[in-house]
Structure 1
Amino acid sequence: MEYEKIVSGTFIDRPNRFIAHVNIQGQTETVHVKNTGRCRELLVSGCQVILEDFRGRKEAKTRKTQFDLIAVYKKIHKTNPLFKDNGLLLINMDSQAPNKVAKEYLLTQDYDIIKPEFTYGNSRVDFYMEKGNRKFLMEIKGCTLEENGKGLFPDAPTERGVKHLKELTTAIDEGFECILGFVIQIPGVKEVAANIKTHPEFAQALKEAKQKGVKVLFLETAVKENSLKILKATQEM
């Protein structure tokens, strides 16, 4: 997936989870943050951020802000396995991007049917797929939290995430093949572990889901300022 037009800026602060103040070309702008997570380790005062620029586009007329914050350069220590060049790691933090690139990936996997936002029970699962007589349900989670070269999820307690895992676990009994896909929005990170310290309940739900037969898929990406692309998919062993 690619962004039509981008611009860089310097992060100032984040009054609430929906907006931030960013210095763009010498002007302080209020921008929309496309990730409602805490992102405290990413959005640090003075860091460089990347924004989608809607100025001059049709959508601009109906928007409250003219920019969406989509990526950030995170400063990492030289002991981090991901350390390169100037020690800045570009992380895509657009929470809508994982489902978009996941769909692009699924379209290359020879499924007969792919349905996004599939209604299952009292909620929606990100994707329903069919291949012959096999039926699949797939839930996507984006990973933006990195510690010493490894991905962790979640970065904040997620009751919604626990609910999704329990739904996938139940669906196994109904004949579905179920997948939890982690789209890793951090270049160089190949797998994701449950963040036990932040949300032990999610870690336990993930353990139970895997024991029941839910497969975990790690989707590695190439992160650029104007795009996100899945490079490789690896099933957890």
Structure 2
Amino acid sequence: MRFAQPLIPGVLERRYKRFLADVRLEDGSLVTCHCPNTGSMLGCQEPGSRVWLSRSDNPKRKYALTWELVELPGRALVGIHTGRANGMVREALEQGRIPELADYPVIRPEVRIAEWRTRIDFLLSGHGSEPDAYVEVKNVTAAVDDGIALFPDAVSARGTRHLQHLQRLVAEGCRAALVFCVQRDDVTEVRPADAIDPAYGRALRDAIANGVEVHALGAEVNEQVIELRRRLPVVCPTPELSPT
């Protein structure tokens, strides 16, 4: 995914109301921009961080600027725009970067399942020997030491429901897969954030045990492009028990 225009650098003053951030631009002006990430943005919203913004030419938008990247200590860049994840994963699917999901000539986005009142991010069809595959995408930005990325960064009942839906699709004879889109280049594996959302961790382990395929792709991130190029392992260690 290549940015359509050069990004605008600045320094984060604060993020607030989930969808807004104030940024000090290089000319000293203070602007309010859209924050396209509804999560807690664990470790990615520290005041004083260098950030990069994109500009929209849509006159109907209240905020023309959108927060795209943040630089973390150690100079790691993170893409925080969750709305980019599906496009990046589609690009990876089309280019065969998940071999297990290759050779599907038809990729349909946002497939509605009326019975469950939900949508699945992609439906892959037309494979010569494999059943149709439903694919759900989750954007990952949080990480801890030792190169470990975590999902989710806040309690996600919606994410848990998605895993349950994927399990039901497998039970009905379809393939179902979860793809973690990791928009940062300083991690080496993905784990469930059991300390943040133990229910999601349990649901992920149940989904894997019941045939849901789980993949993770890490991005190369810079000010011109974010591209999913690295396969990352998904590791589900036994969660630590809380002391009684």
The alignment's TM-score, normalised by the length of structure 1, stands at 0.89
Give CA deviations for 1:60-107 in whole Å, capped at 9, x if unaligned.
x111112100110111xxxxxxxxxxx221111110111111011111
Q: 1:129 touches 1:135 (CA, 8 Å); kept in 2?
A: yes
Q: 1:147 & 1:3 partners in 2: Cα distance?
A: 28
Q: 1:40 & 1:123 partners in 2: Cα distance?
A: 27
Q: Counterpart amino acid of 2:112? A: T
Give the length in aligned residue pairs: 222
The one of 108, 111, 122 equivalent to 2:104 is 111
Q: In the superposition, relative to structure 1, how do residues 15 and 234 fare at CA in structure 2: closer, same or farther (>3 Å)?
A: closer
The one of 141, 148, 163 equivalent to 2:138 is 141
Deviation of 1:188 (Å): 3.3
The one of 133, 152, 155 equivalent to 2:153 is 155
Aligned to 1:205: 203
Give CA deviations for 1:173-206 in whole Å, capped at 9, x if unaligned.
1111111100111103232100001000000000
Identical amino acids, percent of aligned pairs = 29
Q: 1:191 & 1:142 partners in 2: Cα distance?
A: 14
Aligned to 1:89: 76
Q: How does 1:205-224 map to 2 (within 5 A)?
A: 205-224=203-222
Question: Any gaps of 5 or more consecutive residues in structure 2?
Answer: 97-102, 236-244
Q: 1:97 touches 1:228 (CA, 8 Å); kept in 2?
A: no
Q: How does 1:114-133 map to 2 (within 5 A)?
A: 114-120=107-113, 121-130=116-125, 131-132=127-128, 133=130
Give CA deviations for 1:12-63 in whole Å, capped at 9, x if unaligned.
0123101011111211101000111111421111110111123xx3x1x111
Deviation of 1:235 (Å): 6.4
Residues 1:167 and 2:165 aligned together? yes
Q: Classify the secondary structure of the residue corresponding to 1:71.
A: strand
Aligned to 1:47: 49
Q: 2:190 touches 2:234 (CA, 8 Å); kept in 1?
A: no
Q: Which runs of 4+ in 1 moved over 4 A?
A: 234-237
Q: 2:124 touches 2:133 (CA, 8 Å); kept in 1?
A: yes
Aligned to 2:29: 27
The alignment's TM-score, normalised by the length of structure 2, stands at 0.87
Q: In the superposition, relative to structure 1, how do residues 172 and 17 fare at CA in structure 2: closer, same or farther (>3 Å)?
A: same
Q: Classify the secondary structure of the residue corresponding to 2:82.
A: coil
Q: In the superposition, relative to structure 1, how do residues 162 and 211 fare at CA in structure 2: closer, same or farther (>3 Å)?
A: same
Q: 1:157 & 1:236 partners in 2: Cα distance?
A: 19
Q: 1:28 & 1:92 partners in 2: Cα distance?
A: 22
Q: 1:21 & 1:129 partners in 2: Cα distance?
A: 40
Aligned to 1:2: 2
Aligned to 2:18: 17
Q: What value does the CA root-mean-square deviation take over the aligned residues?
A: 1.4
Q: Counterpart amino acid of 2:20? A: I
The structure in which a higher percent of residues are strand is 1
Question: Any gaps of 5 or more consecutive residues in structure 1?
Answer: 76-86
Q: 2:72 & 2:230 partners in 1: Cα distance?
A: 23
Q: Counterpart amino acid of 1:34? A: P
